[in-house]
């Protein structure tokens, strides 16, 4: 059985994953705020946790994993979008929720088992807030707000390991008259007549952001569950606040136990070495890339080439190289039936989701010239396991037939090099190898045979000079 080891933000250690109940392994991942198209950074947690979901289903059985990812459909950014566009909140959230699902499916992500919307869980949020007030962890300000009292939870900051000073600076906390402490955060706030609102014991209002995840996770997964994920920008304050709310509500204010046992955070994505931003002109949505003709499968492949805890760089060179590799793999596996998932590939995935290593292993399988095609069949099974080389994502290859000319030229050069070695013309052989390297073709000799592959820096034009 594949062992799964995960780097747990909570303990700062890589730990063997032991589920509370192997018959029902439970995972919660913070989803998007729905008011616009998802940008490519938003796709990163989706793809990362999709791979973890697939791995958990493989190890514990597809019916024994419950994955929840929410939609935040009540938020001031949504209200602002409605006001500036003259459209209703419902229209905006319905439309962007559907966009999100379409775009994430286009990059091969499976739907989670539950995709709750915050607005469907207002009664559960109100109940939790009332409970926190009764137990002395939250207080109403008498003017329609309810605040969580951070001082009442001694473990606050344990997940991110931040000091109170850091947290105050990081959260850009507002010092407000209604707060007992500047760190206190909003659980409920009053709504004007033109803002979305629900009746509550504190008047008509709406929830603060953090309470929704605590209430939805409790309702769908229980007070204690296995894995909680999201981007590392959420560690503080969002995840600290979720923990504070949930642990205090469930009687774990002293020990900070309960709620999620393993916390996983993906690093951020940047574009061509820079933080993605609209003003820099390097801001893309997933749909922008798909519309440019970059296939969802290629996007997925590029994401998986970087380990989830490293910063990922989206570059044009990477997606071009990824599309070359996928074309090649689709060609050598075409017409074959998938066999078994490669053991080493699974071991790498189980090792804190080492997708980068797992992809390197796929290259290795692809380069094996076995006559019975057993390696290619295993390549197919393994790649499909992480959502690559699937029939669903394969349309783009049929639309644009494989261009063999590059492979053919490399083959010619490789065979010329082979001949040169046979006649001990090492100068010529090395010259060809160096030229190939310069073009980004990685050449590997093993005994009597050789393999080659295209690195992300592959540049076909450099082959022309050889």
Q: Could you tell me the two tokens for 50? A: 């999709």
Whether the CA torsion 369, 370, 376, 378 is positive or negative: it is negative
Instruction: Tell me the window of 148-156, 228-236, 413-421, 443-451 that interacts with ligand AMP (CB under 6 A).
Output: 228-236
Q: Which one among 171, 268, 332, 356 touches ligand AMP, defined by CB under 6 A?
A: 268
- Check: CB of residue 293 under 8 Å from CB of residue 380: no
CA atoms of 180 and 190, how far apart (whole Å): 18
19, 41, 196, 197: residue in contact with ligand AMP (rule CB under 6 A) = 41
- The label of the residue with tokens 């017409």 reads 335
Please choose, out of 23-31, 55-63, 278-286, 396-404, the segment that lies near Zn ion by the rule CB under 5 A: 23-31
Least distance CB 358 / Zn ion (angstroms): 28
With CB cut-offs between 5 and 8 Å by kind, which of ligand AMP, Zn ion, none does residue 208 bind?
Answer: none
For residues 298 and 286, the answer to whether their CB atoms sit within 8 Å is no
- CB of 36: closest distance to ligand AMP in angstroms? 9
Helix (H) or strand (E) holding 227: strand 224-231
Touching ligand AMP, residues 18-37 (CB under 6 A): 30, 32-33
Q: How far apart are CA 112 and CA 46, in angstroms?
A: 10
Strands 5-8 and 13-16: antiparallel
91's enclosing H/E stretch is helix 89-106
We find the least distance from the C-beta atom of residue 398 to ligand AMP, in angstroms, to be 31
Per-residue tokens: 66: 């419950």
Q: Does 230 bind ligand AMP (CB under 6 A)?
A: yes
Q: Copy the structure tokens of residue 326.
A: 């996928």
From the list ligand AMP, Zn ion, none, pick the one residue 213 interacts with, judged by a Cβ distance below 5 to 8 Å according to partner type. Zn ion
Answer for the pair 12, 161: CB distance below 8 angstroms, yes or no: yes
Q: Which is nearer to Zn ion, 250 or 323 (CB)?
A: 250
Tell me how far, at minimum, the Cβ of 197 lies from ligand AMP, in Å.
22
The item of ligand AMP, Zn ion, none sharing an interface with residue 45, based on CB under 5 to 8 Å by kind, is ligand AMP
Instruction: Name which of Zn ion, ligand AMP, none residue 350 binds, using a CB cut-off of 5 to 8 Å depending on partner kind.
Output: none
Query: Using CB distances below 5 to 8 A depending on partner kind, what does residue 33 bind out of Zn ion, ligand AMP, none?
Result: ligand AMP
**Segment near ligand AMP (CB under 6 A); pick from 60-68, 136-144, 220-228, 265-273:** 265-273
Distance of CA 169 to the CA centre of its chain: 27
The correct pick among 19, 45, 157, 196 for binding ligand AMP (CB under 6 A) is 45
Residues 194-223, one symbol each (x = binds Zn ion by CB under 5 A, - = not), give: -------------------x----------
- End-to-end C-alpha distance for the chain, whole angstroms: 49
Q: How big, in percent rounded to 5, are the helix, strand and coil portions of the chain?
A: 45, 15, 40
Which window, 198-206, 264-272, 368-376, 432-440, contacts ligand AMP (CB under 6 A)? Answer: 264-272
* 121 versus 139: smaller Cβ distance to ligand AMP: 121
Q: Residue 231 binds which one of Zn ion, ligand AMP, none, with CB within 5 to 8 A depending on kind?
A: ligand AMP
Which of Zn ion, ligand AMP, none does residue 256 bind to, with CB < 5 to 8 Å depending on kind?
Answer: none
Whether the bond between 204 and the residue before it is cis, its omega within 30 degrees of 0, is no
CB of 46 to ligand AMP, least distance (A): 8
Task: Please say whether the beta carbons of 280 and 39 come within 8 A.
Answer: no
Residue placing its CB nearer to ligand AMP in the complex, 8 or 266: 266
| Listed residue (442, 438, 444, 445) closest to 466, CA to CA | 438
Nearest to 158, CA basis, from 8, 268, 284: 8
Q: Does 30 bind Zn ion (CB under 5 A)?
A: yes
On the 0-12 / 13-18 / 19+ scale of CB atoms within 10 A, 462 is middle
**What is the C-alpha separation between 239 and 187, in angstroms, rounded?**
14
Binding to Zn ion, residues 271-330 (CB under 5 A): none
Write out the residues near ligand AMP by the rule CB under 6 A.
Answer: 30, 32-33, 41-42, 44-45, 230-231, 233-234, 266, 268-269, 276
Write out the residues near Zn ion by the rule CB under 5 A.
Answer: 30, 213
């Amino acid at each position: 059985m594949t062992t799964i080891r995960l780097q747990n933000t909570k303990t700062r250690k890589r730990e063997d994953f032991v589920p509370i109940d192997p018959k029902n392994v439970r995972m919660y991942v913070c989803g998007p705020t729905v008011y616009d198209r998802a940008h490519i950074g938003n796709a990163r947690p989706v793809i990362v946790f999709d791979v973890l979901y697939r791995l958990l289903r493989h190890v514990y059985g597809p019916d024994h994993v419950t994955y929840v990812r929410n939609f935040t459909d009540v938020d001031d950014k949504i209200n602002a979008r409605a006001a500036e566009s003259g459209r209703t909140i419902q229209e905006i959230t319905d439309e962007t929720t559907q966009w999100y699902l379409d775009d994430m499916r286009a990059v091969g992500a499976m739907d989670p088992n539950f995709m709750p919307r915050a607005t469907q869980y207002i009664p559960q949020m109100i109940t939790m807030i009332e409970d926190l007030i009764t137990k002395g962890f939250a207080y109403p300000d008498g003017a329609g707000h309810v605040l969580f009292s951070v001082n009442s939870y001694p473990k606050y900051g344990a997940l991110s390991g931040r000091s109170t000073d850091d947290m105050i600076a990081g959260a850009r906390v507002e010092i407000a008259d209604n707060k007992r402490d500047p760190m206190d955060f909003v659980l409920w706030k009053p709504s004007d007549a033109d803002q979305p609102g629900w009746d509550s014991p504190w008047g008509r209002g709406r929830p603060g952001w953090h309470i929704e995840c605590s209430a939805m996770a409790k309702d769908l997964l229980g007070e204690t569950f296995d894995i909680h994920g999201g981007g590392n920008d959420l560690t503080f304050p969002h995840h600290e606040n979720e923990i504070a709310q949930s642990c205090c509500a469930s009687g774990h204010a002293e020990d900070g136990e309960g709620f999620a046992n393993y916390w996983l955070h993906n690093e951020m994505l940047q574009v061509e070495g820079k933080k993605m931003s609209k003003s820099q002109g390097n801001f893309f949505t997933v749909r922008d890339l798909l519309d440019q003709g970059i296939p969802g499968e290629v996007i997925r492949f590029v994401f998986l080439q970087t380990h989830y805890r490293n910063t990922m760089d989206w570059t044009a060179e990477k997606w071009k190289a990824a599309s070359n590799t996928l074309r090649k793999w689709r060609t050598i596996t075409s017409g074959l039936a998938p066999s078994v998932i490669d053991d080493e590939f699974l071991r790498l995935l189980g090792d804190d989701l080492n997708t980068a290593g797992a992809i390197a292993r796929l290259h290795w399988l692809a380069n094996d010239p076995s006559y019975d095609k057993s390696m290619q069949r295993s390549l197919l099974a393994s790649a499909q396991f992480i959502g690559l080389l699937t029939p669903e994502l394969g349309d783009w290859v049929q639309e644009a037939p494989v261009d063999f000319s590059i492979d053919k030229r490399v083959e010619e050069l490789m065979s010329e090099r082979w001949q040169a070695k046979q006649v001990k013309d090492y100068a010529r052989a090395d010259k060809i190898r160096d030229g190939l390297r310069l073009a980004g073709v990685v050449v590997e000799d093993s005994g009597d045979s050789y393999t080659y592959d295209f690195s992300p820096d592959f540049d076909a034009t450099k082959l022309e000079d050889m």
